Structure 1
């Protein structure tokens, strides 16, 4: 009989499977409580790929809309979700926000006509979209942002102080994910800085922005507007602890046993190996656990199930590599000599290795090695030791393992 696999490597985890992140959750809860009481708080969340930012955003949304209680009770915000792509312009962002607000509030008859009038400018700005693509389009951007901030302030005031018997809302929270994808036409740093200032001028103090992305989103914000970083409390999300990783595994197994007739367990050694292999990255935990669960046939997930599920072709490491490592190894690198540098570094896993140690095994000349290390560092494929000159390392042990097992496989 087929079993339902409770682990979800390709999706954010549900709130009931969530583990750890106590500091981040406290900061988000505090921000919501501050905003509810007229002291708006904005938070920037950064972290590497697979570290669990989207799952954290999912939990935050449930806290904001009142599906989960906070230490201050249940909240009642309107939550607006937007995922940024490299094609998202300023106009597109505003149109996406308007649609989301209309979907959430347009169900209330007494608010529907108010929304149509308040956000009517959105129908006009589509004509300005091509003009905003130009580098000197600051004036047009100012006009669009001004109208957006005014409409947002009017809407927030209306739902926080209902006039026709609707239930009052605590405010509006914006969850902007994958903000590192922002293109120049989005004016992302300028947008957040200008909007927060204009909301304050309009007397609106119940709007909260939570922005998530890879670490280089900080650079993109600053490049768009140097002081935009100052409006955010910055939280850097790190790997889960060993104990939190094992908790995720236990919750997943419990969920599986609730829906499957055949019960499944996992020994402590097997849990330890999943925790070690995943390095505390939530996506990796889900993938290694998923593959081990699929591999098991006797109801007891063993160390052998974990290893076979992890290292076989098509297994966990292969799947993770396809999503996270293959592009870095193939598409971003056009030189086999550069790939040789990565292969040499992989022998050290994710430990620091000196340039002189790489040179001993490298078959190219010194200049090519220098160029390779510079290019790989610039493209953020490897890390350079800021405190020791001439030392480099791969970002994750998983990348090293993938290079060893699958790096020489022809690109699909």
Structure 2
């Protein structure tokens, strides 16, 4: 009989299966409490791909709108979600925010006309997205940000202090995800720095920005405005511990057993394998558990089920590779000699390896090896040891395993 697989590798983890992150959740809850009481707190969340940033943001939204109680009680923020892409310009970002606010607050009759008047400037700035007069973009950006900050302040103050009997909000929470995709035209660091200062000038103290992205978002913020980092509390999200990983597995199995008449269990040895293979990355935990669950036929997920589900073609590692590793290995690298460097490094898994050790096995010349290591480091495909000269490693053991098992397979 077919069973519903409770593990979801392709979507953020639900709040019910959330594990660990005690420090991060505490900081987010405290930030909401501070903002609600007129002491706004802005938070920057960074971490590698698959580490669980989107799941943390998803949990934050549930906390902010009062769906999950906290030690500070239930919050009632207006939560605005925006995902940044490489095409998101300053005007596009503002238009997305305006549309999101209008969707949520436009349901309230007493606020509709207020929103229409307050955000009318958005209709006048569409020309900025057309590419016309790009030389004036900085001057235009100053005007647009000023209009945006004023309209945002008016809106936040209006919903925090209702005039016509509608329910009061604690403030506005902005959840900005994948901020590392920000292009130069977004002026992302300047945007956050200028808007937060202008909100203060307009006596608006109940707006909170939570921004998430890969670690290089810090560099992008600083490049746009070097002081922008100072407005954020920085949370660097790390891997889950073994115990937290096992908690996630237990919650998933429990959810599955509520959905299915045929019960499924997983032994400690099998859980250890999932924890080791996933390296504490929540997305990878979900994928290895999902594949093991699919492979199992007798209701007891064993270590063999985990390994078979992990390493077969189309299994967990192959699926993770197609989403996380294939682009780095194929699209970002045009040289087979560069891929040979990665294959040599994969023999060391994710441990540090000296350039001299790579040279012993590399078939190209010294200059090509030097160029390869420089290019792979610049593209953040490999890491350079900051404390020892001439040492490099792959970012994850999973990448090494994928290279060894599937790297030689022709690109699809």
TM more than 0.5: yes
Q: Distance in 1 between matches of 2:385 and 2:269?
A: 34
> 1:131, 1:296 → 2: CA distance?
55
Q: How far is the alpha carbon of 1:270 from its aligned partner?
A: 0.3
Alpha-carbon distance, 1:193 to partner: 0.5
**Who is 1:178 aligned against?**
178
- 1:165: which partner in 2? 165
Contact persistence 1:241–1:280 (CA under 8 A): yes
Give 1:279's aligned residue: 279
Q: Name the CA distance, whole Å, in 1 between partners of 2:294 and 2:134.
A: 52
- Contact 1:239 1:281 survives alignment (8 Å): yes
Structure 1's 373 and 135: CA in aligned 2 closer, same or farther, altered over 3 A? farther
Please state how far the C-alpha of 1:130 moved relative to its aligned partner. 3.1
What's 1:410 paired with? Answer: 410
Aligned counterpart, 2:37: 37
CA RMSD of aligned residues (A): 0.9
- 8 Å CA contact 1:291–1:316 kept in 2: the answer is yes
Q: Report SS of the residue matched to 1:212.
A: strand
Q: Contact between 1:44 and 1:234, CA under 8 Å: does it hold in 2?
A: yes
Paired residues of 1:275 and 1:285 also in contact (CA < 8 A): yes
Task: Give the Cα separation in 2 of the matches to 1:26 and 1:180.
Answer: 24
Residue 131 of structure 1 deviates from its aligned partner by 5.4
SS in 2 for 1:137: helix
Structure 1 position 123, deviation (Å): 1.2
Once the two structures are superposed, the pairs formed by residues 302-317 of structure 1 within 5 Å of their partners are 302-317=302-317
| Partner in structure 1 of residue 98 of structure 2 | 98
Unaligned runs of 5+ in 2: none
Sort the Cα spacing of 1:132 and 1:43 in 2 relative to 1 into closer, same or farther, 3 A.
farther
Aligned partners of 1:264, 1:334: CA distance in 2, in Å? 45
Distance 1:93 1:218, change over 3 A: same
- Please name the residue that 1:203 is paired with: 203
Question: Is the CA contact (8 Å cut-off) linking 1:189 and 1:224 kept in structure 2?
Answer: yes
Distance in 1 between residues matched to 2:233 and 2:391, nearest whole Å: 32
The separation in 2 between residues aligned to 1:137 and 1:214, in whole angstroms, is 27
Contact 1:242 1:280 in 2 (8 A): yes
Deviation at 1:133, TM superposition (A): 7.3
Q: What is the match of residue 24 of structure 2?
A: 24
- Structure 2 distance, partners of 1:59, 1:12, is 9
Structure 2 residue aligned with 1:218: 218
2:362 is aligned to 362
Query: 1:132 and 1:318 mapped to 2: Cα distance?
Result: 45
User: How far did 1:112 drift?
Assistant: 1.0
* Residues 8 and 85 (structure 1), Cα distance of their counterparts in 2 relative to 1, 3 Å cut: same
- Contact kept? 1:132, 1:140, Cα under 8 Å: no
Distance in 2 (alpha carbons) for counterparts of 1:325 and 1:238 = 19
Structure 1 residue 14 corresponds to structure 2 residue 7: no
Give the deviation of 1:125 after TM superposition: 1.1
**CA shift for structure 1 position 127:** 2.4
> Equivalences for 1:10-159 in 2 at 5 Å?
10-130=10-130, 134-159=134-159
Q: CA deviation at 1:278?
A: 0.1
1:242 aligns with 2:236: no
Offset at 1:332?
0.7
Q: CA deviation at 1:85?
A: 0.4
Distance 1:179 1:145 in 2: 18
Asked if the contact 1:131/1:137 (under 8 Å) is kept, the reply is no
What is aligned with 2:265? 265
CA 99–137 in structure 1, closer or farther in 2 if over 3 Å, else same: same
Indicate the residue corresponding to 2:294 in structure 1. 294
Q: 2: distance between equivalents of 1:405 and 1:255?
A: 32
Please say if residues 51 and 283 of structure 1, whose CA atoms lie closer than 8 Å, have aligned partners that are also in contact: yes
Distance 1:194 1:15 in 2: 33
* 1:206-246 Cα deviation digits (max 9, x unpaired): 00000000001011111111111111011100000110000
Q: Deviations over 1:351-410 (max 9, x none)?
A: 001111111111111111111111110110000000001100000000000000000001
Taking the aligned partners of 2:342 and 2:82, their CA distance within structure 1 comes to 36
Cα distance in 1 between the residues matched to 2:286 and 2:409? 25
Q: Give the superposition deviation at 1:167.
A: 1.1
The CA distance in 2 between the partners of 1:71 and 1:150, in whole Å, is: 33
Whole-angstrom distance in 2 between the partners of 1:352 and 1:267 = 33
